[in-house]
Structure 1
Amino acid sequence: MLESRLSEEARIALSRYSSDKAARTLVPLWLQFEAFLQSRGTLPSSIPGIPEESLRAYATFLDYGDRHVDDALIALSAVLLVCLHANYNARILRSIVIPRIRRPVQNRQWDAFRLRTYQPLEYSQLARSRRRRARHEACASDAARNEDAVT
């Protein structure tokens, strides 16, 4: 069976940057992505020519497919790694995520974190508490500065 240009380019990129074992592991996941592109009727001539919308559609396809969330994350990560090694725009690759992904949720009993799956992404509680603490400290320092100026 003849390889497509995308598969050949993916093999070359993986062999250049990783071991043969890694390439043997990642190429089947890449072929699944290529089959997804063919099913949509969009098979570009090179990896950097893959539209951003196709990557986002693949992430959504993995999310709503009949597979475990870990398998979906691995499949998407493999595709993004191949794209990164093939000189795809890294800024675009950083923005491609599975819409419903695991996020840590604080467990009130033990003050530890557990994983809750399939929740929409939100700002983390830590970021909010840091902003809240910074605002509180800024207000306190302004109040202290105003008291010093008055006296």
Structure 2
Amino acid sequence: MLESRLSEEARTALSRYSNGKAVQTLLPLWLQFEAFLQSRGTLPSSIPDIAEDSLRAYATFLDYGDRHVDDALVALSAVLLVCLHAGYNARILRSIVIPRIRRPVQNRQWDAFRARTYQRLEYSQFARSRRRRAEDEARAGDPARIEDSLT
């Protein structure tokens, strides 16, 4: 199968900075990005010529596509790594992120992070934190407790 110019450039950049295992792992993710570029009709001649808007559109595509959050992050990271090793502007690459905000979910067990858009805290969570802060201040300022802890 003939590789496109972008794929050859990506393979060269990856093999220059890492071992063959990394090339085998990251190149399929790059090919997915290249297929995305072809579907948009914008296939540049080299990796540094890829438009910043195309990278942002790919991040949005990964975010709202039917895939797990971790898979989207790995796919975007692989594309950004290839671009970085191929000489793309690092300042632009630092600004490419998956659009939705991720935050830890309270009382999580298996999932480290869940994709959620930012929402205000519920009143009960505000009240609980205020109550906890008041209890801590009361414990810290209680002179009887301080004397008991010293003796």
Please report the TM-score for the alignment, with normalisation by the length of structure 2: 0.72
Partner of 1:55: 55
Alignment of 1:19 with 2:25, yes or no, is: no
- 1:81-100 to structure 2, matched below 5 A, reads 81-100=81-100
1:99–1:120 CA contact under 8 A, matched in 2:
no
* One-letter amino acid of the structure 2 residue matched with residue 97 of structure 1: V
Partner of 1:118: 116
- 1:2-151 to structure 2, matched below 5 A, reads 2-104=2-104, 107=106, 115-120=113-118
CA distance in 2, matches of 1:13, 1:65: 28
Q: In percent, how many aligned pairs have the same letter? A: 83
Deviation for aligned residue 1:119: 2.3
RMSD of aligned C-alpha atoms?
1.7
CA distance in 2, matches of 1:75, 1:88: 17
1:69–1:101 CA contact under 8 A, matched in 2:
no
Q: Any gaps of 5 or more consecutive residues in structure 2?
A: 120-151
2:69–2:114 CA contact under 8 A, matched in 1:
no
Deviation for aligned residue 1:100: 1.2
CA distance in 1, matches of 2:5, 2:89: 19
Paired residue total:
115
Three-state SS of the structure 1 residue aligned to 2:116 is: strand
1:10–1:86 CA contact under 8 A, matched in 2:
yes
**Structure with the bigger percentage of strand:** 1
Q: Any gaps of 5 or more consecutive residues in structure 1?
A: 122-151
Deviation for aligned residue 1:117: 2.3
- List structure 1 runs of 4+ shifted beyond 6 angstroms: none
Partner of 1:138: none
